[in-house]
Copies of this chain bind each other. A is one copy, B any other.
């Protein structure tokens, strides 16, 4: 895999901005592999992602950051420069359902998800078998024995010890406390098993069955303290009919969950997502 730097920017829109950034890149001989721009005309905010081949580039990561900083300050940028060779460290949190967990592990194993997965955490012990197969340390945090507060304290410690960059709730059926949501802001992704905002909260498939909808779905979103209200990264739907029982809907919905979560996590890992207020710009 070719090494790239990803320069991701959001800032107030301004004439000359793109010219300045492009000139900077040209001055340092950057070959641009992929470039995306978006202007939010309502808020006047500008979003930009460049994927730059490091082959031709006359700057290493450190000097790029140093040289770019004055420009970034001038334009009041939120920005980062990530290095595709530096893998993010991802923790997977799961409960009893294995479909999302196993799918992410397999995509990671085959290299589709370019990251490290140093730890899997379960509030039940059952997912250990899959962790073992993929030789990832598994921690069972026993919510029943510990109580919710101590359990989450233990999870917080684990995330710190393993130096986790991204926490993925792969059908983790525990609601994170507000403080942890706050700490993990923009760094924790959840999969909700409905097409949000429809059927937020518990038992979305039963809700969908009761309402008699003709399509079901799943929503991949950033975790915020307002449950199921975080910025949406990806959604997926499937057609159903009267002949689908609530159990059929669960089965079909799983395929939506797997796909939406896998996409969302990949977009995040490739720095394709920019959060703006309660929405996302996704340069897919």
* A contact residues vs B (CB 8 Å cutoff): 15-16, 18-19, 22-23, 25-26, 29-42, 47, 56, 98-99, 102, 106, 110, 112, 133, 195-199, 211-215, 217, 231-235, 237, 239, 241-243, 245, 251, 255, 259, 278-282, 284
Contact = CB atoms under 8 A, between A and B. Distances in A.
Copies, count: 4
Given A19-B19, A215-B235, 5 more contacts: A35-B37, A42-B245, A212-B231, A213-B235, A214-B232
Contact of A280 (B212, B215, B233): B212
Contacts of A47: 242
A73 to B, nearest CB: 19
Nearest to A259: B255
Contacts of A245: 41-42
Contacts of A215: 195, 217, 235, 237
A47 B195 CA distance: 29
Contact of A110 (B99, B133, B242): B99
Which of A19, A32, A39, A98 has the most chain B CB atoms inside 10 A of its CB? A19
